Each structure stands twice: as structure tokens, then as C-alpha cells.
Structure 1
Amino acid sequence: MRVHHLECGGIDPLGGEWLWGMDLVIHCLLIEHDTGLTLVDTGLGQQAARDPAAWLGRAWCGVFRPDPDIAGSALAQVESLGYHRDDVRDIVLTHLDLDHAGGLADFPNARVHVFENELRAMEFPRGIGETQRYRTPQLRHGPRWRLHAEGGDTWFGFTGARTLPGIPEEIVLVPLAGHSRGHAGVAVRTGDSWLLHAGDAHFGQLGRPGDIERPWVVAAFEAFAAADGKARRHNWERLCELAHDHADEVTVFSAHSGPELRALRARARALA
């Protein structure tokens, strides 16, 4: 398999690097394998470039100040590699937040894999937080859902992991609830090691929980955005342990860290 690290839509949140401690991106994966293409998350999507407020919501745009463009969409980057949108046969989502699922409509024929309780959170939101995080206009095309309950496998100590029908077994959905009810990580085996796209289960700051100092705005945002604060904290601590104890076997990265994206791109170029 070959893994491409894509930046699918720019964001420049209020306070910028000074508050967040890094530049923020939207990091998606495109995986080439024998049976087609698999996309991990979709970014903002091409409709965001045409009408950001309608597609993403005025409040979100006001805080995160997106700079979407057609050329930076996942679809445009797929096409730049010589593929057609229908070559993306599967999309695996970490969760359904608007900046992760915004490009689903650009791939209407793809099978969309997500944990069942994440879709239910979108369909039956609890309170204003869940009402605001999901954007129903992004789903009006009728995605071809493939819903999954947590499985019976264990992945580096994370229970409930599962492989997905029709997708190479080197791609594993890993439960990481907390940021949202059905949040997942997506693990991809590359040779003798793994990549773990941890979505929004962390924001680019991993280390021993008692040692790391995160920017206050990151900690505040994680707490504010969490559907289950206790589960989010628990899974963040487990990710810290994974990154520390298995650094030679697993590379853990988040969806929004610019430094992580650049480092992984550089590593991929070196391996190529």
C-alpha cells in the first residue's frame, strides 16, 4: 500500500500559532491498494470553497477562519494523481464533524465507514454542542453508509478494534470515543510499522500526561468540544502511553497539527 498525506482545506483560527502553539491544518490520508483507493476523512470539500458559510456554518467560520479552495480539496488532489472520484471506493471517517466529513458529497459513490454510534449522534443530537458540530447539508446527497459496531479485536491494548469488510485488513478502525460519541482512530499498517490517524482525540501534543504542557486554548477547546470529557481524557492518556511505549512500532498523529503533517510528508518522500 502507498499512503499519501493530504492537506484538505486551510484553517487559520483566531489567535493563530500564538494561542494554539502550532499552525493548524486538516490532515487526511489517501491510501492506494490493490482494490482501489481508501480515503481517511475528507476535509472541507469543494462546496466549502463555493459557499463557506452555508457549508460550514457562520459560527465555525468565524472562529476557525477557513480558506478552502477547489485545488486543495481531497477530490482535486485525487484527480491530480491521475484518478477519478469513483476510484475512491471507501471512505473511513474518524468522526462526522463538519471539517472531517465536508468532502463526502465529492465522492457520492464511495462506501462510507463510521461507527454506528457516531451516525446516531448526528441523527439524534444531545444539546446544542452536537447540533452545531454536525452539518446536515453535507449529507443531503445520501452517503452509502457502512455502519460498524465496536469489534472484538485488540489493537495495541485498545479493545473494540475492527477490520472493515471490503477493505484491506491492514486498515483498522480503533474506538477513541470522547471528542464525539463515536469518535475513532484509523490505523494503517505500512510495512513493519503502523500509522494511527487519531482524528481529534488529540491536537498534536502527546507525552506523559504529567509532563506535557499544552497551550491553555488547546486544553480549553478539547474540554469544550468533548461529548464525553472523561472518555476523552482517558483515551488521550492511552494515546500518550502508546506514542511513548511503542514509538518504534506506531506513529500517532492528529488531524490538525501542521508540524506533524510536514514531518510525515517528509518521511514519506524519504521512503519513496
Structure 2
Amino acid sequence: MPASQRGPAGLRLYTFGCGTSTADLSTFAGPRYSGQLVTIPMPAYLIEHPKGRLLFDTGPSYRVAEDAEGYLGRGLARAMNIQMQRDDAIDRQLERHGYRTDDITHVALSHMHLDHAGGMAHFPRARFLVQQDELRTAWWPERFQRHHYIFEDYVATRRFEFVELHGDYDVFGDGSVVMLRTIGHTQGHSSLLVRLANNGPVLLTADAVHHRINLERFVLPSIEWSPTDCVKTIQRLRDVREHEQARVIIAHDPDDWAELKRAPEFLD
């Protein structure tokens, strides 16, 4: 990897597991897998950078752990079948590893579905980074998208600081942490490229793809806002992987999760 593509000394990537969900694999990988249930992780990532601490996604709200049916509604709670304890919520995870929520300077959101943005309200002092299209969709979603956007997750963030993005965004200005616009799953989805000094570039896809099959075989999940944009995004992820020689980490893929270091271990 060229020196120009390496992140600064001290750049680290930590991973937290914020519970799991059970789903039929056919939702992500096509009808041939119908009836095959998989347990999928719901991660959040902390990036330590000399200029700040960035959280990429937040996992679900702690209220899902306390009363999923009361918070999400019976239908959605049963459909997602989330397994989560209160200590799995991101505020407790950070505390357990020596951080306060006020230590987080940036919160970058891949999108604002309940399993990625449920912990937003814990970070009133952070600067939020999210595509403008995603913000607009979250506050006024189209009818068929409404069930995955939980208004109570972010109503308290109305006065928080938001940077509304219109494409790719270099978070710290040195090329080490870059948000990539990867729409398709939602109108304003982003992935995150982290150029680590020792482990090399890591591409955190979030929900741009849901399973390795999507990336390698161009099989589309059945839950995408725009299949056409999803195809373009998959090609972009493949291009970034090739150009950067990046390790691709798919948020909800159980096999990727099994191979990933968890906090307090890290990639650097």
C-alpha cells in the first residue's frame, strides 16, 4: 500500500456487537435459500483518530432491549426477532471499554434504520455526518419504508449538529477516513473506507450489501429501495476493493463477523 494511502499513527478501528437479529437468508441472498435461518450481527464501529473519535453507526436503541414490542410494535419486533440485552446498547459498550459518550466527536451514519441509528440520542455533543437524502427520508419516509425508520430514535436529535452530505466526504481531511456514497438500500446510504497504517484499508459496507453473496455474485437482497442503484453500488464496492486492495467487512454477514476482532482488540 503506498504511503500516501496509509492512515496516521494511532488510527485504530474497534468493533462492538450491539445484539443480533434472526432472519431468513433468502431475504439477503435470494429464494434458493428460503427457509434457512441465520443469526446476523448488528455492529457499531469506533475509529480512533488523532483528530477525534468517530462512531460509525450506533446499533439499536436500548429501548429495544427493554421492551422490543412496546418500542417497535408487535409486528416489526417479531419480524426482526432482535436478541439484545441492555448492556449491548452502544452507551454501555463504550462505558465498558473506558469511554464516555461525550468522548465521541463524530457520529457517521450509514443510514438511519433502527438497527444502525437507534443510539443517536446518546451523543448530543458529537457532530453527525449523514447524507442529506437520508435525513430527509428518515424524517418523512415513503410508505413502504416507514417500518424501518423509528421516529423516536432521532426525535431528540433535532437540535444536534448535523453535517448534511451530498456525496463522498473526507472526515478528517487526510484521506484516512472517508464516507462513500453507496445508495441503493436507501436513498442516502453511505459506507466507510478506513485506511489503516498496519492492517491496510478496510471497507465497512454497512447495508450497501448484506451478505458476501451480494458482493461476489451480484445477487440483490429483496429489501432494497432501488435495485438499479444497488447494482451500481455493488460495482463501486468491487472497484474500491480492487483499487485499494481493501478488506471488505459486511456488517450483517455472520462469516465476516466470526473473523472480526472485537473491542478491546482492534485493527490499526
TM-score by length of 2: 0.81
- Closer, same or farther: CA 162–59 of 1 in aligned 2, 3 Å: same
Equivalent residues, number:
249
Query: Per-residue displacement from partner, 1:45-103 (whole Å, max 9, x unpaired)?
Result: 31221221243343322112001212111111111111111111211000011110011
What is the CA–CA distance in structure 1 between the aligned matches of 2:115 and 2:123, rounded to whole Å?
Answer: 15
- Closer, same or farther: CA 110–37 of 1 in aligned 2, 3 Å: same
- Closer, same or farther: CA 186–54 of 1 in aligned 2, 3 Å: farther
- Closer, same or farther: CA 236–19 of 1 in aligned 2, 3 Å: farther
What is the CA–CA distance in structure 1 between the aligned matches of 2:118 and 2:195, rounded to whole Å?
Answer: 26
The ranges of structure 1 where at least 4 consecutive aligned residues each deviate by more than 4 angstroms after the TM superposition are 14-22, 166-169, 206-209, 268-272
1:255 aligns with 2:251: yes
- Closer, same or farther: CA 60–207 of 1 in aligned 2, 3 Å: closer
Kept in 2, the 8 Å contact 1:204–1:256? The answer is yes
- How far off is 1:167 after superposition? 7.3
What is the CA–CA distance in structure 2 between the aligned matches of 1:14 and 1:179, rounded to whole Å?
Answer: 18
- How far off is 1:269 after superposition? 4.9
Partner of 1:227: 225
- Closer, same or farther: CA 96–25 of 1 in aligned 2, 3 Å: same
1:237 aligns with 2:243: no
1:179 aligns with 2:185: yes
1:137 aligns with 2:152: yes
What does 1:26-175 correspond to in 2, within 5 Å?
A: 26-126=42-142, 128-143=143-158, 144-150=160-166, 160-164=167-171, 169-175=175-181
Query: Per-residue displacement from partner, 1:79-138 (whole Å, max 9, x unpaired)?
Result: 111111111121100001111001112223322110111101122322x22222211011
What is the CA–CA distance in structure 2 between the aligned matches of 1:52 and 1:237, rounded to whole Å?
Answer: 36
- How far off is 1:249 after superposition? 2.2
What is the CA–CA distance in structure 1 between the aligned matches of 2:22 and 2:115, rounded to whole Å?
Answer: 13
Kept in 2, the 8 Å contact 1:14–1:65? The answer is no
Gaps of 5+ in 1: 151-159
What is the CA–CA distance in structure 1 between the aligned matches of 2:209 and 2:78, rounded to whole Å?
Answer: 22
1:201 aligns with 2:197: no
1:7 aligns with 2:17: yes
Which region of structure 1 is more displaced relative to structure 2, 67-76 or 199-208?
A: 199-208
Kept in 2, the 8 Å contact 1:122–1:130? The answer is no
- Closer, same or farther: CA 52–258 of 1 in aligned 2, 3 Å: same
What is the CA–CA distance in structure 1 between the aligned matches of 2:237 and 2:36, rounded to whole Å?
Answer: 20
For residue 265 of structure 1, give the secondary structure of its aligned residue in structure 2: coil
Partner of 1:155: none
Structure number with the bigger relative contact order (C-alpha 8 A, sep ≥ 6) is: 2
Kept in 2, the 8 Å contact 1:95–1:118? The answer is yes
* Cα RMSD, aligned residues only: 2.8
Which region of structure 1 is more displaced relative to structure 2, 87-96 or 183-192?
A: 183-192
Gaps of 5+ in 2: 1-10, 27-32
Q: Please tell me the residue identity of whatever aligns with 1:177.
A: I
What is the CA–CA distance in structure 2 between the aligned matches of 1:129 and 1:75, rounded to whole Å?
Answer: 31
